[in-house]
Amino acid sequence: MPEHTRYTGLIEHYRDRLPVTDETRIISLGEGNTPLVRLENIPREMGSDVELYIKYEGLNPTGSFKDRGMTMAVTRAVEEGSRAIICASTGNTSAAAAAYAARAGITAFVLIPEGKIALGKLAQAMIHGAVVIQIRGNFDDGMRLVKEVSDHAPVTIVNSINPYRLQGQKTAAFEIVDELGRAPDYHCLPVGNAGNITAHWIGYSEYAQHDSACVTGACAFCGGNCQFSGKAVTDKRPVMVGYQAAGAAPFMRGAMVDNPDTVATAIRIGHPQSWEQAWTVNKESGGWFDECTDEEILATQKLLTSREGIFCEPASATSVAGALRDIKSGKIPEGSTVVCTLTGHGLKDPDTAIRQCDESMLTVEAELDAVKAAILGNMD
């Protein structure tokens, strides 16, 4: 039989570009290697020749891109002797932290806003055995408390302020270049805490750098002397575009937003922790920020499911909603190659999905004629 190497996760796959050693015990669930799917029906119906892809991060082990950063953060926490991790979360970070803590055999503490987390995400954190602490406040309150309590308790923060988180998340950019054979012209992402747009830019920058000089001002991991560059794979970097929900859009307001509100719970964040880094990405890449209404976000979520068979949570659809609008307006020109990141799977928030379904389920008698009538009456 031909030799076969089993994929065992992004750290092993990109070991030479990540801060691990041969002795590091890797905490992995086989994350990464997610599909890059070219959209067919939506661009055709728009009459557009833009080459439009989605990076389907909802197919990571816990259903979101957070697994990329969590494998690195928990791996290093364990290596440094930590027995407990902590995070504030709108849902996806708590699910990932709980799962990777269980894998590592350590304790996860998660702070979530009371009554403002999708049930799919809450269920994940609980079933994986995390200590779930609901606070009477929002994500930004939780983030403040996590930073404060880490000074008083032996816990490692695994939010994106943990530098190893972005190191893991940068690998999504590596995968895109490896699959396309080049960097896209534009990369569009939903923006909440702004760590992911920063991480992607770091990844693209490292893949395009021929030496170990500072690859981007958005990354301070190596102190301006990048230890992971010097092996260029592509000669270009994309324009980075970040889209926010209109009710939680500090980058559009030019200032932090108190009490953010949007149906896109994963990006319901008014005080992004990677504020300065994201502005650096914006400047270096020649990109922009924009915002989408909840109505646009939900309509795009439904469009992706009904026209392309791709189910993502509302926050994920923000990247596609914004990209489609900019393609239609010509801001993203025809002929471009565009990648949109879908950050989380639709099963994270089934209640919101069900509320969008106009067609109710049909209930009929358990008889052939009744089933046949239901089928024939609903044929296109």
DSSP-derived pairing of the beta strands 51-56 and 131-135: unpaired
DSSP E strands, the chain:
36-38, 51-56, 84-88, 107-113, 131-135, 156-157, 186-190, 239-245, 288-292, 337-342
Q: Are 66 and 158 in contact (CB under 8 A)?
A: no
Task: Kindly state whether residue 380 falls inside one of the protein's structural domains.
Answer: no
Task: Kindly state whether residue 375 falls inside one of the protein's structural domains.
Answer: no
Query: pLDDT tens across 235-284, in order?
Result: 999 999 999 999 999 999 999 999 999 999 999 999 999 999 999 999 99
Task: Based on the fold, state whether residues 275 and 308 are members of the same structural domain.
Answer: yes
pLDDT at 222: 82
Task: Based on the fold, state whether residues 54 and 70 are members of the same structural domain.
Answer: no
pLDDT at 325: 98
Task: Based on the fold, state whether residues 218 and 119 are members of the same structural domain.
Answer: no
Lowest average pLDDT, out of 40-49, 69-78, 360-369, goes to: 360-369
Sheet holding 186-190, edge to edge: 36-38, 51-56, 337-342, 186-190, 239-245, 288-292
Domain boundary pick from 162, 183, 207: 162
Mean pLDDT of the chain: 94
What is the length of the chain?
380
pLDDT at 224: 73
Task: Kindly state whether residue 322 falls inside one of the protein's structural domains.
Answer: yes
Task: Based on the fold, state whether residues 196 and 342 are members of the same structural domain.
Answer: yes
Query: pLDDT tens across 34-58, in order?
Result: 999 999 999 999 999 999 999 999 9
Task: Based on the fold, state whether residues 136 and 211 are members of the same structural domain.
Answer: no
Domain boundary pick from 105, 138, 162: 162
Domain boundary pick from 162, 192, 210: 162
- What is the C-alpha separation between 218 and 277, in angstroms, rounded? 5
Task: Based on the fold, state whether residues 156 and 299 are members of the same structural domain.
Answer: no
pLDDT at 114: 85
pLDDT at 1: 56
Task: Based on the fold, state whether residues 73 and 41 are members of the same structural domain.
Answer: no
**CATH number of the domain where residue 302 is located:** 3.40.50.1100
Task: Kindly state whether residue 276 falls inside one of the protein's structural domains.
Answer: yes
Task: Based on the fold, state whether residues 32 and 120 are members of the same structural domain.
Answer: no
Task: Kindly state whether residue 106 falls inside one of the protein's structural domains.
Answer: yes
Could you tell me the pLDDT band of residue 2, with boundaries at 50, 70 and 90?
A: low
The token duo for 65 is: 């891109």
Task: Based on the fold, state whether residues 176 and 108 are members of the same structural domain.
Answer: no
User: What b-and-e string marks burial along 261-285, b requiring 16 or more CB atoms within 10 Å of the CB?
Assistant: ebbbbbbbbbbbbbbebbbbbbebb
Residue carrying structure tokens 């994920």: 316
Could you tell me the pLDDT band of residue 123, with boundaries at 50, 70 and 90?
A: very high
Task: Kindly state whether residue 2 falls inside one of the protein's structural domains.
Answer: no
The token duo for 332 is: 């993203």
In total, how many domains does the chain have? 2
Task: Kindly state whether residue 131 falls inside one of the protein's structural domains.
Answer: yes
Query: pLDDT tens across 143-200, in order?
Result: 999 999 988 999 999 998 999 999 999 999 999 999 999 999 999 999 999 999 999 9
Residue carrying structure tokens 């989380």: 344
Task: Based on the fold, state whether residues 155 and 239 are members of the same structural domain.
Answer: no
Domain range for 332 is 10-63+165-355
- What is the C-alpha separation between 360 and 138, in angstroms, rounded? 34
